[in-house]
Amino acid sequence: MPRKGENIYKRKDGRYEGRYVKSRAFDGQIKYGYIYGKKYAEVKQELTLLKAQFTFAQKKKLNASETVRSWMMYWLETSVKNQVKISTYMNYKGHLERYILPNLGEIQLVSLQTREIESFIEYLSSLELSGITIRCIFNILKSGLKKARLSSYIYENPCDNISLPKIDKKKVAALDIQTQTALEKLALEHQCFPIILSLYTGMRIGEISGLKWSDIDLENNVLYIERIVVRVPVSNEKTKTKVLLGTPKTKASIRAIPIASNVKSYLLSIKKEGSEFVFPCGDSFSEPRIINYHFKKIVELMGRKDIHFHMLRHTFATRCVERGVDVTSLSMILGHSSTKMTLDTYTDSMWETRKQAVSVVDKQLQENDLFNEFLAKVS
């Protein structure tokens, strides 16, 4: 006898048979499907899943008009816009309109399959986008579909269990002492002040761009990072990007950096009366593109094309490591979210420091008479 309400029977051959509603005709007639298994629990588990899928399929008919486009834009405006910074919102919107919607937008939300997501990932790879960019685009899609699943618009997220291209972690590139000295000389001669500030504080280009004199406490020798200038994608026929002045993306990036005496003297020497920003452009700030333009001019004078502005930050960090600055202090100066991030980023630079640390401890063993006697015996 089957258990009440479960539609599971034990057959004469010893197997269990489960019956479920497979479909329902327009006249209401039910078509049943059957599953079989050696164990009752196996049949019950699969039957529960099939029943849930049938129930969801009935609800799905109500959502048949919802497309990937309509849902993702709804999700962006209702779930994302008021919970993230404007720069993050604009990045999401830019990736949606440039990559996701042109390729998947017209597909019915309930019909979107894993194989279509996989084809989309292959398409992104064919554009020779970086692994990080592909992962970013994919995560936007996955987050939107996760919300659709939680809202019962889809039964499962087709982005689950998708394999993404591996991210090739590039080694941190820092300038050697000789190159740094040459760069500093040209920066001072041509008054490219942001180069000096980045080399001796580790600030990012967007942080330098948004730096105001009110952020610098010259009495207590502290520089506060409270804002950043970023360029984000926009959907506009006239321009593809827009410059925004906002707060740093993470809490760790909002930080205080001690000002050394030479840097303080340098800042005082470039300060102009009536200027709100440390590096102004007219009545406003010098956006990152302008700073980078002048930086490239300096690099060209060196006959180098392989140096980019972010390398100045890495150079600052590398010099700190070489001089034995502890990782916790360095992590806070750089605005990393954890010391692990600092360690992972500057592993190679810190190797020599680790060797020195081991050598210091090793001296204790060298001074141990019993150890020396042992070596004498075995040699």
Contact by Cβ (8 Å): 315, 180: yes
pLDDT computed for residue 64 by the predictor = 61
The CA–CA distances, whole Å, from 273 to 48, 220, 270, 281 equal: 75, 21, 10, 14
Residue 74, helix vs strand vs coil: helix
Residue 205: Cβ-neighbour burial (10 angstroms; 0-12, 13-18, 19+): buried
Q: What is the pLDDT of residues 162-209, one digit of tens each?
A: 888 777 666 778 898 999 999 999 999 999 999 999 999 999 999 999
Q: Higher confidence at residue 231 or residue 120? A: 120
Annotate 189-201 with three-state secondary structure.
HCCCHHHHHHHHH
Q: What distance lies between CA 22 and its chain's CA centroid?
A: 44
Contact by Cβ (8 Å): 85, 249: yes
Q: Which residues pair with 16 in a beta bridge?
A: 10, 37
pLDDT for residue 265 is more than 60: yes
CA distance 28 to 326: 74
CA distance 175 to 173: 7
pLDDT for residue 35 is more than 90: no
Q: Which residues of 77-91 are buried (b: 16+ CB within 10 A; e: fewer)?
A: eeebeeeebebbbbb
Q: What is the mean pLDDT of residues 207-214?
A: 94
Q: What is the pLDDT of residues 76-113, one digit of tens each?
A: 999 998 888 888 888 899 899 999 999 999 998 888 89
Residue 319, helix vs strand vs coil: helix
CA distance 285 to 337: 27
Longest Cα–Cα distance of the chain, Å, equals 98
